Structure 1
Amino acid sequence: MFADLIRRMTAPAPQPLSDPDARLALGALLVRIARTDGRYDPSEKAQIDQTLMSRYDLDEAEAATLRADCERLESEAPDTVRFTRAIKDAVAYEQRLSVIEALWRVVLADGLRDVHEDSMMRMTVSLLGITDQDSNAARLRVTPS
């Protein structure tokens, strides 16, 4: 189902993603970070849905359907290096900062900081071309009080 999107995302010189494809790519990245620690909790799914609803003006049913598509894409997607490259190439730095905030919200959704999630976040931040300082500031902005 997602073979064409994956092929386009992993091409040597990927084209910018269309809006529907960008939604899938971002959602799949959110799912990937949520699954990194081996647990994919309802709180993480709810946070992904909330991100998709607010970012794309979706209702709950539309967000849940999109998340389900993103879960399938994530399971078929290649390594994170090529996957994030497509997002980096398609999204301006300022918008990538909001992606980092969304990723941190998912990481923190279950109330646990896992070493695997932290490692994946460090790699993803680097691959998206975000500075460590900006990632830390994004994490602080979304950390519950």
Structure 2
Amino acid sequence: MFDAIRNFVAELANGDGQSGVLGDDEFRVAYAALLVHAAAIDGAISDRERIKLKGLLMQRFELDDGAAADLIARATAADERAVDLYHFTRLLNERLDEAGRLRMIETMWTVAYADGALSDYESNLIWRVADLLGVSQEERVALRQRAAAEQGSPA
């Protein structure tokens, strides 16, 4: 028992243990989970939201159809287990620079507008995530307007 503890501590000291660096898979699941949450928060994910979500993830992470479907399934499970947004946003804050955080919020707006209607739930969620990611009110509004214009929806 003592040897096991000593070996564990030695591995950590030598850097052989988990370094605490956010892995690509954990990052992808956190990113996708916030998008899934944005699509589902109004009660149901429409076909247009589902298609948009999958396409955005395929483009963002250079995934094929099967890998994107798997990521969405894992993100949905992670979202269902989550008790708050902080876990996901903390992971994204560790990994994304300012431009990446802005892109995340714009992507969330794009998913929310995909069905042609923005619910109060979607809007509130994205504003809360933006706050947790340190995106200013002015930037949130501009990103919302840009996403709405790209989807042909009124902002």
TM range (shorter): 0.7 to 0.9
> For 1:101-140, what aligned pairs fall within 5 Å after superposition?
101-140=106-145
Task: Give the percent of matched residue pairs that are identical in Structure 1 and Structure 2.
Answer: 32
Could you say which residue in structure 1 is the equivalent of 2:16? none
Bigger CA drift: 102-111 or 59-68?
59-68
Could you say which residue in structure 2 is the equivalent of 1:64? 69
- Any unmatched runs of 5+ in structure 1? 1-14
Matched length: 131
Match of 1:100 among 85, 89, 105: 105
- C-alpha displacement at 1:81, in angstroms? 2.7
Query: Which protein has the larger Cα radius of gyration, Structure 1 or Structure 2?
Result: 2
- CA–CA distance in structure 1, aligned partners of residues 95 and 21 of structure 2: 5
Contact conserved, 2:42 with 2:119, CA < 8 A, in 1? yes
TM-score, length basis structure 1: 0.83
Contact conserved, 1:27 with 1:52, CA < 8 A, in 2? yes
- C-alpha displacement at 1:16, in angstroms? 4.4
- C-alpha displacement at 1:68, in angstroms? 1.1
Write out the 4+ residue segments of structure 1 that deviate beyond 3 Å after TM superposition: none
CA deviation profile, 1:82-105 (whole Å, cap 9, x unmatched): 331221222111101111111001
Could you say which residue in structure 1 is the equivalent of 2:57? 52
Are residues 1:89 and 2:94 paired? yes
TM-score, length basis structure 2: 0.78
For residue 99 of structure 1, give the secondary structure of its aligned residue in structure 2.
Answer: helix
Contact conserved, 2:31 with 2:88, CA < 8 A, in 1? no
Could you say which residue in structure 1 is the equivalent of 2:9? none
Task: Identify if the C-alpha distance between structure 1 residues 16 and 43 changes in structure 2 by more than 3 Å, giving closer, same or farther.
Answer: farther
The structure showing larger relative contact order (alpha-carbon pairs under 8 Å, at least 6 residues apart) is 1
CA deviation profile, 1:42-101 (whole Å, cap 9, x unmatched): 211111111111111112222112111111111112311333122122211110111111
- C-alpha displacement at 1:111, in angstroms? 0.8
Could you say which residue in structure 2 is the equivalent of 1:9? none
Could you say which residue in structure 1 is the equivalent of 2:41? 36
For residue 110 of structure 1, give the secondary structure of its aligned residue in structure 2.
Answer: coil
